[in-house]
Structure formats: C-alpha cells, structure tokens
Structure 1
Amino acid sequence: MSVQTTSFKHVSYLWNEEEAAKLAGDEVALLIYRSNLLGADLRLTNYGGGNTSCKALAKDPLTGEETEIMWIKGSGGDIGTLKKSGLAALYVERLRALKNVYRGLDYEDEMVELFNHCIYDLASKAPSIDTPLHGFLPFKHIDHLHPDAAIAIAAAKDGEKITKELFNGQIGWVEWRKPGFELGLELKKCLDENPGIKGIMLGSHGLFTWGDTAYKSYINTLEVIEKCAEYLEENYGKKGPIFGGEKLKSLAPDQRKNQASALAPILRGFCSSERKMIGHFTDDARVLEFINSNDLDRLAPLGTSCPDHFLRTKISPLVLDLKPDQDLSDVNAIKEHLAPAFDAYRKMYTDYYETCKHDNSPAIRDTNPVIILYPGVGLFSFSKDKQTTRVAAEFYTNAINVMKGAEAISEYTSLPRQEAFNIEYWLLEEAKLQRMPKPKALSGQIALITGSAGGIGKAIAKKFVDEGAVVVLNDMNAERLEATGEEFKNIYGKDSYTTTILDVTNNDQIKQAFDDAALAFGGVDIIINNAGLSISKTIEDHTDKDWDLLYDVLVKGQFKVTQAAVGVMRKQGTGGDVINIVSKNALVSGPNNAGYGSAKAAQLHLSRLNAAELGADNIRVNVVNPDAVISDSNIWAGGWAEGRAKAYGITVAELPAYYAKRTLLNKIILPVDIANACFAFTGGLLNKSTGNVLNVDGGVAMAFVR
C-alpha cells in the first residue's frame, strides 16, 4: 500500500505537522489529536462509532515504577469530540491477566466488571466493551473504525476472500462475533497466525488498524480505507445497474420538501404511540438512489450489519406504500391507509422480540420504526431527541453505502436476527441505557414561540430547551433571528433549534414556519403566541393604521398561528398546548390605551373560545398575563415607553420603579418570570387545565380574574 499521504481521494488527510509537533512526547495528547481527526470524517466513522487507543509508560502511583498503561475511548464517547476526560486508562498487564480468570464465551459479560480492577486513572471514564479488543493487541496505537467502504467488504458474502486478495494477505479476517472478551482473544489469535499484517477486518462489523506511533496508525488507517473505497469504485456497475437500477423517479426538490412537511406530522403521530418522538428528514442523493431502486424491497427488510448501525436504526425500516406525488390533503384517509403498515411493523417487531428473547432479556422496548422510507421523497427518522434521530438517519445512510458496495462486489449479508437481538437487548447495552439521565419534563416536545429572537420570546425558548424541548426560533427581523440562532447554537448545540422568518400577519410565512418545523422536527406540540407590539396614544391621536396594526398582529396573528398549529396537532393526534402571552391590560383600564388594551382583551377572550373548541382534541389553551416586562423587549421601542411615561406623568427612567411600586409584591417582572409561567402550563403538572389565566405582574389587584 503505497498511497501518497497527501493525495487521498476517498478519505480526508487532516494531519497537521505543526500541530502534532506541539504534542510530541505526549502519546495521550497525540491519541486525542488523531481521534479527533478520524472522527471529523464521516466516511471513516459516524458519531459515537469506533474506538481508538494508545499504550504508553506512566508511573505507578503505588510503586513509582514505570508501567504500561492503555488509554482508550471510554464507554459512550465519540472520537470526533474526544477529550482526555472521555478516556479510560487501564494497566495493560492487569488487563491481559484477566485471561487467567476468563471462564469462556458463556460468561464473557462478567469480565466487564473485572475491568474495574485494571483501572489506572481512578477519575477516568468507564471502560467500554471494546477494551479487550485493544488490550490484547501489542501495538502502541490502534484504530477501530466503521468506515462504509470497509464494512461493505466485511458484509459481503465473499468478504473474507475479497479481503485476502485485495490486500495480498496484509489484512487479517475474523468472523462476526459480538464485541467482548472473546473477540479480543480472537483478534490476538489472528495476529499470532498472521505475523506482519497491518490490520484485521471484522466480519459484518468494521476494521482494526494500528501503528507504532500516532501518525503511523493514522496513515495506515487512511491507506486501508482508501484501498477499500478504490476497489468499490472500480466495481460499481460491473455486475449491472446499482441496486438493480431505478424503479421510479424522485420528485423535484421543492415537491419532496412539500410532501415531507405534509406527511411528517402524521408519521410522528404513529411513531409517538408510546412516547413523543422527535423527527428528522433527509432527501440525500444516496438515500434517493436506494429508495427509488428495484432492489429496495429485497434489501430493506434485511436490516443492517454493523452493530453501531443496527443499534441506532432498529431491525429494519418501514417502507411506505405511497406514491411520490400522493395527494396528502385528506389526513384521515392517509392515516387509515398507513395504520395497517404501522400495525404490521409493530407485530413484526414484537414477534422478533418474542422469538429471540432469552430468560433474562430486558423488557421489549418501543415497537415503532426508527427509519421510515418514502420512495421518491426521502427518509424520515424518529427517536427520543433531535441528535439521536439525526444520527439514526446518518447511520442508515451509512448502511445504504454498505449495501451498495457489498452488492457491487458480491452479495450483501446482514446480521442473523438472533445475533441482532443479542446486540440490541444485550444486558450490557441495557445497563448503559439505564445509566443515561432520565428524560426532562419537555423531552420529545417541539415548541414554536412567535417573536422568539428577543425579550420574553427568547427567555421562553431558553427555558424550554433547558427542560428538554426543541424550539422553532422565529422573528420578522432576519438579522436579529440569525444572531439568536448563533446564540442557541453556542449554548445548546445545533440540534436544539431551527430558525424561520415569521411575520404573524403573513399567511405564506405562517405556513412556511410550520412546514419548517415539520421538516426539522416532525411537527409541533407547543405554541406560544408571544409576538406583539404596543402603541400608546390618546383617542384623538390614534389612527386607523395604528388600530389595524395592533389588531392584525395581536388578535388576527394569534388566531392565524393557532389555526395553523391546530392543523398540525390534529395530524399528529397527540394533543398539544397553546399559550397566549396577553397582558394585564386585557383586564385593567387605563389612559392612552384604547387600541392596545382592547386588542389584548380580544386576545384573552379568543383564548377562551379556542379552549372551548379544542378540548376534544386534547389541545389545551391557556393565557399568561404579564405586566411591565421591560428587559430586552421590543414592546418598549417605537415610542411606547415615552407614551406610558407621559400617561403617568413621569420620566422614562422612572418607569421600572413606578411599575414595581404599584404591585402588591413590589417586584420588577423579568422575561424569565414569563418563561417560568409558560413552563408551569406545559411541564406536565397542569395537563388537565385549559382556559386558565395566570397573572405574572407582581400583583395588580385590578387584574384579578375573579
């Protein structure tokens, strides 16, 4: 393998000599550097996939003597974002000595507890199941990755023969075995029987490569994967059209998005039969090539081969029996059409569980599909949160790449169902799931807060993300919205939000906002009608333009957004919450406030009317009445502060203290106070309450509802 290290075609060469030189002599730092480079290229391994390690000398804290320590990615980590805190550190000699107490394949799971007796750094991450796979090999630096190109060969019917011929015996082969102690012993046996090899292919699983330095391991890994990818590329089309050729054409991109946004809430409703799920949609060209093909019906039921793929995508996808250009306007008819397919999938999954379960298997989990394929349109995925569902779609795309490669050179083979079950319901995997944090109050919920690029709206959005929801940020001001999106990305990460321009007086933008929510997350559960403005003028000074603007934004805007939300919520069939941010002024009369105050009163009564109508759909409609929320609020722009100060005979600077002093509690009201009130309605404790008004005004007696 003499590939030029800087001229790779199918993988990214990212090594920087200057950066690496700064780390010279620190093998652990070089391990982290190498790991991050490998994890940055999704062609090498996906999020959370694979493992890397190094072995280096360190002082034993008890004896002071130099001893060999293995540093390896800990349980549940990701090599692309790996830091030292994510590594496990173990005594190599102790780890290898565990062979002396190993009782055989039927007892290998008990070895995981014994890893704790080998830990060197007591503050390090818990060791993963891959630990013995690295520990029994003698190399200083080892990479275990799940590159599509290598797995395509590993999952091919003739994978062992192809590997031997392609690499002239330089890459060993170990048949499929669940990761664990036994597989570690088999890797060492393969090496002993094939001295001088540069790596080992794991049947249906992935690739092991190594080197005496971090750089040599990195280059060896890239060279092996590059060679696998080159081989696949040379063979595409030789056996015939890819995936048996095209069976149907994709819709145009805009049409695909329209179909997906219309269908996603319906699919989300089906997939949320046990708990609310977050969705993801992709119409990636690789996905379309597969789902539009003649071989879809043959290959899709087989499922995936690599354990990392399978754990995130389930035993197999659900393929929809819908025409690409199917009329989706009759929601009930579409639900009736799809219901048998979901029932059949749930039965299939239940039968799979009942057939394969062991006496000590964990209880059956959610029986709904994770991956849903819509030929001609794209791929939907549904899971507990946005990151998990996005990664599931990425892993299924990896699986498509594997099937494509395996079919080009041989015949694709998936894991036998019993083997797949043994991975999915592995007691060690179950223990990992049980260690995960419990869901937050708003986990699985999607919230659209109008006017959420500042003030009250932004505070509500932050509160909801803190409590587990994903949010649809929106604003009329594109620059303000972009800045808020960047803020959320920096604080919460890219999977916490999406953004959309929204003027609540614009019907097209309202529709687009809900389409964007459906494409990004699958639908919507919580609507906060927060967008607003204020105009304070005397009766003489009030104009028709002022009056129309107030009623268009506050009253009609609230109605139109709620109307659109109800359409999505009814598609989902899982209920929802509408909270209208109204005002103390809906109940309290004051000077220079005819337009704003009467519009707020209309908002309040519209909320009651909507609550009365939507209860049958389990859609709750409630009101939060703030007063004098000055901090970071657009409401004080455009002369409102000056107008209110004039009405009260004070200066603008005196307004905050004036508002606080007139309350029973003598408190200044902040955006976070309104956010907390919204969470009180949506957090689960008030699920049987609708048509209510919650005052958040510090106590204004005239605003008491009763």
Structure 2
Amino acid sequence: MSGPASGLTAPLPDLWDDAHAARLDEPRLLLYRSNLLGSDLRITNFGGGNTSAKIDGVDPLTGETVKVLWVKGSGGDIGSMKLDGFSTLYLDKLLSLKRVYRGLAHEDEMVALFNHCTFDLNPRATSIDTPLHGFVPHAHVDHVHADAVIAIAACANAEALTREIYGEEMGFLPWLRPGFDLGLRLGELAAANPGLKGAVLGGHGLFTWGPTSKACYETTLAMINKASAWLAANAKGAAFGGAAVEALSPDDRRTVAARLMPEIRKRISAGERKIGHFSDAPDILEFVNSRDLKPLAALGTSCPDHFLRTKIRPLVLAFDPAANNSDAVVGSLDESLDAYRRDYAAYYQRCRRPNSPAMRDPNAVIYLVPGVGMLSFARDKATARVASEFYLNAINVMRGASSVSRYVGLDEQEAFDIEYWLLEEAKLQRMPKPKALAGRVALITGGAGGIGRAIAARLMAEGACVALADIDRASLDEAVGGFRKSFGRDAAIGLPIDVTDETAVAAAVRETVLAYGGLDILVANAGIASAAPFEDTSLELWNRNFAILATGYFLAAREGYRVMKDQGLGGSIVFIASKNGIAASAGAAAYCTAKAAEVHLARCIALDGAPFGIRANSVNPDAVLRGSKIWQGEWRAQRAASNKVSADDLEEVYRQRSLLKLSVYPEDVAEAVYFFASDLSAKSTGNFINVDAGNAVSFAR
C-alpha cells in the first residue's frame, strides 16, 4: 500500500439537513453542527475539539439584549454532548479580560477570571480554548483535530504546505500551547485578514469560521477535504517505509493478544488496576508491521489532545510474528516495562519545573505489537478504548505527514508542560474517587436471567466491567443493550455459550480477556431446576443437572482460575448455589446433589487458590421467583404441586416458610455476590452466605 490510507483521504460527506435545521433556534443549530462534526472520528476524536457561536441573549439582570458566547465546556464531547454541555459567557466581559492579561508567563491565572464572565449562572466549567473562540471576530467558530489537517500541521514545513494547499483562504500560526495568548494571536490574525476562512495551528489542528452555523460547518468540511485531496495527490512512496513483517492470521492475532494482555496488566496494576483494549484494525496493522515503526513511534504525537491520551510515546514490544512465540515476549516483558519506566522517569527529571506535580504512573498507555496490533491500558475501559482511537488518529497523521514531508512530533518540553500543566493537575484532583470495583473485570454465566442481570447491575454500579454469558441469545442481547444504555457502551459485552461445552467456555473467557485485558471476578450462575421422586429420576435428568450445575461450574471456574493465576492479581470466584446444596429437599435428588457438588467444589478451589490470592465462596439463595427463568417453567408447577398450592400462590408459601417471613429477590442475591467479589470480603474464602430469609435446616454447621 502506498501513500495515505483511504480513511485519511476519503472525502467527508456533507450531512447537513436543511429541513431539520429550519426547526432549530441558534443554540440548537450550534448543537446540531457540533454533533455532526463529532460523529466522525476523522474530523475529531472523542472529547477533542470545540465549537462556538456568538448569540444574542437577554441579560437576566438588565433585560437588555447582549452578545453571549456559547462554547463547548471543559471535558465535553461535541459528538455526544447536549445543550447543557456549552458554557455561556458575556462576550463583552470576556473581551475585557485582554486589559488585565499580564503576558504568557501569567496566562493560567486568566482561567479563574472566566468565571466572572459567566452568563445566566451557567454551571458548565469553561474550557481553556474559550479565548480562541471569543477573540475571533466571527459569529461561528469550529476547532477540530482532523487527521488530514494535523498531518499537514505536523510536517517540518507546515507553514509552506498550508500556503500551497489553501492559498489565501487559510492562515497559519506556529505551535503555541492552547490558552489565552494563542487566543489573542488567533483573534489578531482573523481581524487583520478578513478574507480568511480559518487557520491551521502548527502541530495542533484546524480553526474555521463563518457567518452562520451551516456556513461554518461547510467550511470545516471543505478545508478538511482540501487537505485530504492534496495528500492523496502528493503522497510518495510506501506508507511508513513499507512492510517489514507480515500480520498473523486474525485468530492468531487474538490468541497472542489474549496471552499478552493479562501479563501486561499484572505488571502495571500495582498502584491502580488497569483495564485493557485490543485493536487490530487495518491501519494499525500497517503501522505496527512497517519498517518505520520504531523511529516514528519514538517521536511521539503532535496534537496535544493525542498526547494527553496516549502519553509521551508508546511501547513497542519485541514480538516476531514469523516465529509467533508469545512466550518469548512474556519472558522479556519485565525488562521492556522497566526500560520504559526508567525512560519516563528520566523524561520527568529532564523537563520538570520547580512547581511541577509529582511524577504520575510511569507505565505506557499504548503497546504496539508487530504482526498483532495495538493494546492500550487505562483506569477504565472507555479511557483505554479512547486512547487507542487517539493513537489511531496519530498513526493517520504520521502516515500523511511522512508521505509528503518529514513528520515532527511535539517538542519534549512542550509535551511535559501539557502533561504536567497545573490546570490539568487541578482537573485530575477534582475527579471523583474510584468506585469499589473500578478496574475489575467480571464474567457471569447465566448472565441474562433475573439473578444474573441483578448481579451484573450491582457490579457495574460499583465500576466493574462485565461479560455476560448465556445460552439464550435473545435475552442476552436485550440485557447487554440495556446495560450499555445505563452504564455506557463499554460496561458490558455478551457471550452466547453453553456452559457444558468445554471449548465454548474457554472461548468465552478468552473473549473476556480480549475485551477488558484480564479477569478478576468469576460468577458461576447458569442453572436449571428439576423435580422428580428419587425412583423416577432418570439418568438423563441426573446427567443434565450435573452437566449444567456441576460440570458447567467446574469449567467456568477452571478457565477463570487459570487466567487469575497467570495474571497474579488474585481474584474472586463466586458460585450461585442453593439452600438445597446444604439441606436436601424431597423429590429433587439430582438438583440437590449437583448443588451440593457446587458448594464443595468452591471449597476445593479455595484450598488450591489461597496461595495465589484467589478466593472461592458460595451464595445460597432460596425461592427467588421474580425474574427467574427457572421458575417460569416446569419447576414452578412441580414445586406448586408438591406444596399443594396454585402456581400463583407459591411465592407466598415460600415467604411464610422463611423465618423472617420475607421474599427473596435477585437484588438480594446480587448484594451477597458483591460482598464476595469486593475487598469487603478480602479475608473470606471457602465460605457461603445463605440468602433465604432464614431457613433453620440450612444453617451453617
């Protein structure tokens, strides 16, 4: 493949809908434009870029019409934001701050003054880029990090190329850290050159402006497409110097990634447990397989948004796809990671200021594996995924820049000053305390049933990532879809499996590792229930109970145990057993015996797992009727007949049978699972908790 990839040079489509736009007022037109721009990662990354409009508003104090700057607030994402994602400022007050500005060395102090410009008590925090929008004398302004434009901006001769591509349409400003001073320079450039449609910021991105939201949107697309077309027409030679190695097959790539991710995770999770992400997209493979991989990766990224998400540089792992020996990479991981940490510490010492914050986590975020793809690790799944998306954008930038010129990364001192910016540090200090299961990965079998869903919801509410495994594909898809709406797109995945199939269970665990980087919590919950007089119990019924309830639990626990042991971070295995695993019930020999096997298996695992910090415990529910698939079928009718009541009256029978005269719900079981899954029970293993509203025959003995 020669020149930039098609993703970098393919024209961006104009998605503006005049009929829809005609129904919107100015603030909502700004939101519409923002969402359109943010819907394509070639235009800007998640959380990157910002948009603004200068709109007439009624001053709530005077009743007079004033000009209000609407601009994306700090930490938002233009692709998914709502109207409340914009900061609003009195434009005249913002402009008046120019009079009190004391120069570049003091520009951080201006951020606190933005609060004094707030219009209508809007609580949305103001972005550092606000002056770049406010000081431009045009009604509508877009700032995006389009790959094609940054590819030009990251060239050694970026200013000359900007003139060649855009002529008099676009201005150029050399690299300067985003802030008040850059806003002044951009405003002066626009005011002095009224014919400009925008400007390219060296190493950073694109600013465009226009008289209306639609015109600004169209200009943004036109300037990106012009850069894309120029790159396509002028690219020379093979991308990244051509291929040095060949990619492994898709399945082999996933096998290697699944082998490496827990090994990396255990080595970088000492201070804070990490979640991983794997990508082997074609553009990533082209880069990691190339001759120029190491020299380009060492230069780091150019755009500050890319850098903040991906660190000073990635770590290239010494994997030879021709040999395909992942054990060799694992054997060299300690040395590779230590070298990266030493290099990061040296960078910190070289660049630190007298008032710099203490050195942060020195581990890499991005890991590049020739022949395999890219791994990324962060404190949560969304951050790890977004980091990989940002580095893919950086790859596209390097591809474009190196195909027409010499790629230039961000200066090391500039990079440090952004990473350890006191304003950035203050933002980090304001972040909420991590939840109890933040950075933990859970796999739940029987995850689409009532108890499984309740467990998943409880663990996700505490910050865990969850893989739900279930044989019922329709229910599984419904459950995962609901959880993604409630907890975010990265919180859950669905794995359709039969827990009696050894190969399928192993594959499910591998998919969990590939999705999140490892495994910390295994909840065996898949179940059935059956009843029959002992003399009428068929071998088929007996075997089916043991296949699902005993063998299924064994297979899931064994595969999870193997990952936990290799990962070296401990772990928690929780079995959803039953009151019947402790106290037998007449007419259910197969079910009771299989449940008893589960409880005893957990004790066996507790013995073997203790030296590795792997705990195993059981939760014993009784009569959880609500939301249960088991109680929707024959089992309910059988138990109703055994108790000589109607199916509708069965829950009341169980309620009255309990010592506490209470019904047991899926959420009650989930609470016990959370206890065993979390550090609340860090010193408990080989135990069980009865969740049965009190039943004397199942008291622990």
Residue equivalent to 2:17: 16
Q: 2:460 aligns with which of 435, 459, 465?
A: 465
Residue equivalent to 1:284: 281
AA partner of residue 322 (structure 1): F
Matched, 1:253 2:254: no
2 CA distance for matches of 1:458 and 1:325? 44
Residue equivalent to 1:324: 321
**1:362, distance to aligned residue in structure 2 (A):** 1.6
Gaps of 5+ in 1: 1-7
Contact 1:51 / 1:145 at 8 angstroms: preserved in 2? Answer: yes
Contact 2:573 / 2:677 at 8 angstroms: preserved in 1? Answer: no
Contact 1:88 / 1:121 at 8 angstroms: preserved in 2? Answer: no
**1:453, distance to aligned residue in structure 2 (A):** 0.6
Structure 1-normalised TM-score? 0.96
Contact 1:584 / 1:625 at 8 angstroms: preserved in 2? Answer: yes
Matched, 1:304 2:301: yes
2 CA distance for matches of 1:378 and 1:225? 28
Matched, 1:269 2:266: yes
Answer with 109-118 or 583-592: which moved more. 583-592
1 CA distance for matches of 2:520 and 2:420? 31
Structure 2-normalised TM-score? 0.97
**1:328, distance to aligned residue in structure 2 (A):** 5.4
Matched, 1:380 2:379: no
1 CA distance for matches of 2:134 and 2:163? 25
User: Could you say if the C-alpha distance between residues 325 and 631 of structure 1 is closer, same or farther in structure 2, counting changes exceeding 3 Å?
Assistant: farther
Residue equivalent to 1:155: 154
Contact 1:460 / 1:678 at 8 angstroms: preserved in 2? Answer: yes
Q: 2:525 aligns with which of 514, 526, 530?
A: 530
Answer with 192-201 or 145-154: which moved more. 192-201
Contact 2:142 / 2:209 at 8 angstroms: preserved in 1? Answer: yes
Answer with 39-48 or 185-194: which moved more. 185-194
Contact 2:484 / 2:491 at 8 angstroms: preserved in 1? Answer: yes
For residue 680 of structure 2, give the secondary structure of its aligned residue in structure 1: coil
For residue 101 of structure 2, give the secondary structure of its aligned residue in structure 1: coil
Contact 2:137 / 2:191 at 8 angstroms: preserved in 1? Answer: no
Q: 1:683 aligns with which of 674, 678, 687?
A: 678
AA partner of residue 279 (structure 2): T
Q: 2:569 aligns with which of 567, 574, 593?
A: 574
**How many positions carry a matched residue from both structures?**
693
AA partner of residue 685 (structure 2): T
Matched, 1:63 2:62: yes
For residue 589 of structure 1, give the secondary structure of its aligned residue in structure 2: coil
1 CA distance for matches of 2:221 and 2:440? 41
**1:84, distance to aligned residue in structure 2 (A):** 1.4
Contact 1:263 / 1:328 at 8 angstroms: preserved in 2? Answer: no
User: Could you say if the C-alpha distance between residues 697 and 123 of structure 1 is closer, same or farther in structure 2, counting changes exceeding 3 Å?
Assistant: same
2 CA distance for matches of 1:391 and 1:490? 18
Q: 1:483 aligns with which of 473, 478, 488?
A: 478
1 CA distance for matches of 2:529 and 2:464? 30
For residue 495 of structure 1, give the secondary structure of its aligned residue in structure 2: coil
What's the CA shift string for 1:250-307, capped at 9, x where partnerless?
1122221222222222122223232111111110110011110000011001110101
Residue equivalent to 2:344: 349
Q: Identity of counterpart residues, as a percentage?
A: 50
What's the CA shift string for 1:603-662, capped at 9, x where partnerless?
111111110110111111111111011111122244212222233333322211111111
1 CA distance for matches of 2:510 and 2:677? 23
Contact 2:455 / 2:667 at 8 angstroms: preserved in 1? Answer: yes
**1:246, distance to aligned residue in structure 2 (A):** 0.6
Residue equivalent to 1:431: 426
User: Could you say if the C-alpha distance between residues 151 and 329 of structure 1 is closer, same or farther in structure 2, counting changes exceeding 3 Å?
Assistant: closer
Contact 1:85 / 1:124 at 8 angstroms: preserved in 2? Answer: no
User: Could you say if the C-alpha distance between residues 213 and 124 of structure 1 is closer, same or farther in structure 2, counting changes exceeding 3 Å?
Assistant: farther
Residue equivalent to 1:494: 489
2 CA distance for matches of 1:334 and 1:615? 28
Contact 1:465 / 1:496 at 8 angstroms: preserved in 2? Answer: yes
Matched, 1:358 2:358: no
2 CA distance for matches of 1:105 and 1:166? 31
For residue 79 of structure 2, give the secondary structure of its aligned residue in structure 1: helix
For residue 650 of structure 1, give the secondary structure of its aligned residue in structure 2: coil
Residue equivalent to 2:6: none
1 CA distance for matches of 2:323 and 2:495? 27
AA partner of residue 260 (structure 2): L
What's the CA shift string for 1:48-89, capped at 9, x where partnerless?
000000001112222222111100000100111121111101
1 CA distance for matches of 2:667 and 2:479? 16
**1:189, distance to aligned residue in structure 2 (A):** 2.4
Matched, 1:389 2:390: no
1 CA distance for matches of 2:309 and 2:10? 29
2 CA distance for matches of 1:171 and 1:613? 68
Q: How does 1:14-163 map to 2 (within 5 A)?
A: 14-23=15-24, 26-163=25-162
2 CA distance for matches of 1:537 and 1:15? 65
User: Could you say if the C-alpha distance between residues 455 and 141 of structure 1 is closer, same or farther in structure 2, counting changes exceeding 3 Å?
Assistant: same
AA partner of residue 14 (structure 1): L
1 CA distance for matches of 2:603 and 2:353? 54
Q: 1:554 aligns with which of 549, 552, 555?
A: 549
Q: 2:609 aligns with which of 611, 614, 628?
A: 614
What's the CA shift string for 1:441-470, capped at 9, x where partnerless?
111111101000111011101111111111
User: Could you say if the C-alpha distance between residues 206 and 329 of structure 1 is closer, same or farther in structure 2, counting changes exceeding 3 Å?
Assistant: closer
Contact 2:317 / 2:329 at 8 angstroms: preserved in 1? Answer: no
Return structure 1 stretches of 4+ with deviation > 6 angstroms: none
Q: 1:669 aligns with which of 640, 664, 672?
A: 664
1 CA distance for matches of 2:326 and 2:470? 28
Contact 1:349 / 1:367 at 8 angstroms: preserved in 2? Answer: yes
AA partner of residue 150 (structure 2): I
What's the CA shift string for 1:413-432, capped at 9, x where partnerless?
01111110111111111111
Residue equivalent to 1:5: none
1 CA distance for matches of 2:27 and 2:390? 29
2 CA distance for matches of 1:466 and 1:67? 44
For residue 532 of structure 1, give the secondary structure of its aligned residue in structure 2: coil
Contact 1:591 / 1:647 at 8 angstroms: preserved in 2? Answer: no
1 CA distance for matches of 2:584 and 2:44? 64
What's the CA shift string for 1:364-406, capped at 9, x where partnerless?
2111111001100110111111111111000000000000111
Q: 2:535 aligns with which of 520, 540, 548?
A: 540
Residue equivalent to 2:207: 208
AA partner of residue 57 (structure 1): D
2 CA distance for matches of 1:645 and 1:540? 20
**1:327, distance to aligned residue in structure 2 (A):** 5.3
For residue 494 of structure 1, give the secondary structure of its aligned residue in structure 2: coil
Q: How does 1:211-226 map to 2 (within 5 A)?
A: 211-226=210-225
2 CA distance for matches of 1:609 and 1:251? 40
What's the CA shift string for 1:320-346, capped at 9, x where partnerless?
10122555575xx65332110011111
AA partner of residue 17 (structure 2): N
Contact 2:88 / 2:122 at 8 angstroms: preserved in 1? Answer: no
Contact 1:87 / 1:124 at 8 angstroms: preserved in 2? Answer: no
Q: 2:436 aligns with which of 441, 446, 470?
A: 441
Q: How does 1:167-246 map to 2 (within 5 A)?
A: 167-236=166-235, 238=236, 240-246=237-243
